[in-house]
Amino acid sequence: MLRSLLLAFLAFGSLTAAEPKKLNVLFIAVDDLRPEINASGSQVIRTPNLDRIAARGTTFDRAYCQQAVCSPSRTSLMTGRRPDATRVWDLETHFRKALPEAVTVAQFFKEQGYHSQGMGKIYHGGFDDAPSWSVPWTTPKAPAYASPEALKLQASNVDAKGRSRGPAFEAADVPDDTYTDGKVARLAAATLTMLKQKGQPFFLAVGMAKPHLPFVAPKKYWDLYDPAKIYVPAYQKLPAGAPAFVGHNNSELGSYAGMPKRGAIDEATARQLRHGYYAAISYMDAQVGLLLDALDKEGLADSTVVILWGDHGWQLGEHGLWHKHTNFELAARAPLLISVPGQKAPGRKSLSLVEFIDIYPTLADVCGLPKPKDVEGVSLKPLLDDPTAHVRPVAISQYPRSDAGASLMGYSIRDDRWRLTLWRNRADNSIHATELYDEVNDPHETANVAKQPEHAEVIARLSKYLPPPIAAAPVGKTDNGPKTAAPTNAGTRDRGTMFTGRDTNQDGKLTKEEFMLRQRDPAQAAQNFVKFDKDKNGEISKEEFVKMGQ
């Protein structure tokens, strides 16, 4: 009898050894977070909870998004596909239009037996993806502002998309759970308790809205900083020799009450904005701390992969620019922290080049799951054990623009020293303009050196990594790409697509310059601009463009 029990115990032990418990995943997305965190070397910012993740894992200090704006970046990260595959280059297209059978990273984990759940901003607003989740995605409701004054300004200031925009920052003396991130973090912490009781491996995606504009955070986070010590950019104009179209007019910031509608920001306002950005980061960091505390409390920390990423970088006046929407280093580079239980080299930085499309295959790899199909990224698992290893020779980002009537796609190719940006004409695939920056000797990107003969070899070498031309849209579908396989009949042209094609900085409104792109009759077009601009604010909203052109 004793021998039989012993054999049964050994058999059970070998079975459990063969089938180890799956690791959980806590997947934290942060909106508009540039690498302004302690783990990336910032001497002023206070992010003790992000530092906790870094101490347990790896800080990827050269991580690059695929396109520096919310929806394209998040779509590529979630699908493991570049924007030219997802055909998401704007804030108005869902990836399932081009890739209806795509399996997102959250969906992949669900299909592997995980409970997949999302809350907060994971996909861009209004573009949730139901197949990704085991239960419906949710976000608690919260006011954008706390003070009566800010709420009054919000009600009276409506932007071109019909959205109410209050002030660009607020420092109200209120509890953390007044705002969305505080509510999301508390919901996520409670969900972790529920998931521990459930006993099923989980993929929990939690999205933080800050530090995205407006920079609202409880006053105690503003009080962490001395405004006099906050970073001021060393270089605040476009690089010498750079084409003018590579910048933008700061119109996202300009849509907020009290901000200049476009153009330069005065120094006093700029300091307040940077102060607010820092405060919003520390507020977000405190909410992440609640999640880490919940993992510790529930005994889940040793069985959970923690990943935190910012969807793209952010410019705080560098090159005279605010927000993202460019191919410059500060827009394309974003934080990436990954902590895996049992990794061999915790607490270290990796300077290896990585891309956000690498996140999907990495999570599958470290969790011992099959290699996902149809993803363009590579696993970063080797870097978790050896941060000095290399997994790719370059990192590639991209951003659309228009210039002189030409629709362009700028592909930015980054190696250890150089950033080469090639602006391809989407009509004939010719190279319209070239930028080259020496990121080692000119880290502020003050000069485009593409025309200097001594750098011809660098341009030739990096040009070999230029992605292929964008393929035509699938038959029967149209999008904002350069071509469509099934042109529409005369009189029924998709004016929404036309609007998106002219909206070069993707801010949801057309300046006169944007409106005049590719107009066959400039004189008539100029008259139409005045007619379409119903509120006479010098810009045309999408609604105005669509309605007035019918």
From 364, 308, 293, select the one nearest 339 (Cα to Cα).
308
Say what the alpha-carbon torsion angle 193, 199, 200, 206 is, to the nearest 10 degrees: 10
Q: Are 308 and 335 in contact (CB under 8 A)?
A: yes
From 217, 29, 26, select the one nearest 121 (Cα to Cα).
29
Catalytic residue (choose from 70, 94, 312, 367): 70
Count of beta carbons in the 10 Å neighbourhood of residue 30: 28
Cis peptide before 233 (omega within 30 of 0): no
Q: Which residues pair with 9 in a beta bridge?
A: none
- Distance of alpha carbon 285 from alpha carbon 306, whole angstroms: 14
- Tell the residue number behind the tokens 């919940």, with chain if given: 294
Catalytic residue (choose from 115, 124, 275, 323): 124
Size (the chain), residues = 550
Q: Are 543 and 534 in contact (CB under 8 A)?
A: no
Q: Are 326 and 315 in contact (CB under 8 A)?
A: yes
532: amino acid identity, one letter:
F
463 Cβ contact list (under 8 Å, min separation 6): 413, 420, 422
Between 359-366 and 70-79, two packed helices, what is the crossing angle to 10 degrees?
Answer: 30
- Distance of alpha carbon 4 from alpha carbon 441, whole angstroms: 72
444 is catalytic: no
325 is catalytic: no
- Distance of alpha carbon 30 from alpha carbon 306, whole angstroms: 13
Catalytic residue set: 70, 124
